[in-house]
Structures are given as structure tokens and as C-alpha cells.
Amino acid sequence: MGRYYLHLQEGRRISYDPDGFDLPDPNAARDEAWRSARELCDDALVEGRDISRAAFLIVDEAGKLLGLVPLSSARSGAGR
């Protein structure tokens, strides 16, 4: 079990995830990022916000970047 963080990057701005998630492995963190990205896309669509340039940065507890999930990919159904 490890702690993983999903920081939201929008252009040059990063909103840091202060709490993170206790998850079994990096694959579970990626799954959580995709689920969160789909939720955020749904909310943005309803609110009329453009989040096409945003992405979740998946980071482990040591601060290592493990990957990213572009919100535009989550909205189009690409990825997971």
C-alpha cells in the first residue's frame, strides 16, 4: 500500500492534492486518475468550463511523477 497524489495541472497552474489516496500500487493510482478525470470532465461539461488543456499528474509519496492523464483523453473516451 502506498500514498499517491493526483495534482491537477491547468496550463502553468498546478492545484496540489494535499491528501492523496492510499492505494495498493501505481496501476490503482492510474485507475483513480482516470475515474477522477471522467468525473471532472462531466462536471465541466455541465458548467460550461473548458478544461481541454488540463491533466492529472500522478505522483507517489516520494514526489516521483508516475504519469499523467490528460482530461481531453478522458472526455473522448480514450485511455481507460
pLDDT tens column, 44-72 = 888 888 888 899 999 999 999 999 999 98
| Diameter over CA atoms, the chain | 37
Which pLDDT does position 79 carry in this prediction? 52
Burial of 58 (C-beta count, 10 Å sphere; 0-12/13-18/19+): buried
Rounded Cα gap, residues 59 and 77, in angstroms: 23
Which whole number is the average pLDDT over 1-16? Answer: 95
22 exposure class (CB count in 10 Å sphere: 0-12, 13-18, 19+): exposed
Strands 65-70 and 54-60: antiparallel
